[in-house]
Amino acid sequence: MDSQSLVDHLRELRTCLLYSAAAIFIGFAVAYSQIKIIGQWFFRPLLLVLPPESSLIFTSYQEGFFFI
């Protein structure tokens, strides 16, 4: 096993953190662009058991903004 200095470890950590942040940002962007499809997928089981001619309601202010 190769011994690394503290600076080498910090460089490697910085690289890993940058890759992780980029992957999280790309994943968020892809998920946000498909929010309608994801919302329909999550709400499908609930909508299937609701009576006809009924709809979902939101009980707090921020709930309505999640899947619009």
- Asked whether residue 68 carries a pLDDT value surpassing 60, the answer given is no
> What is the rounded CA–CA span in Å between residue 14 and residue 67?
35
Is the pTM here over 0.85, yes or no?
Answer: no
Sign of the dihedral defined by the CA atoms of residues 56, 61, 63, 68, in that order = positive
| 1-39 residue pLDDT tens | 578 899 999 999 999 999 999 999 999 999 999 988 988
What does the block give as tokens for 40?
């329909």
**67 CB burial (10 A radius; 0-12, 13-18, 19+):** middle
| 39-63 residue pLDDT tens | 888 888 888 888 888 877 777 767 6
Sign of the dihedral defined by the CA atoms of residues 42, 44, 45, 46, in that order = positive
Residue for token pair 């968020």: 28
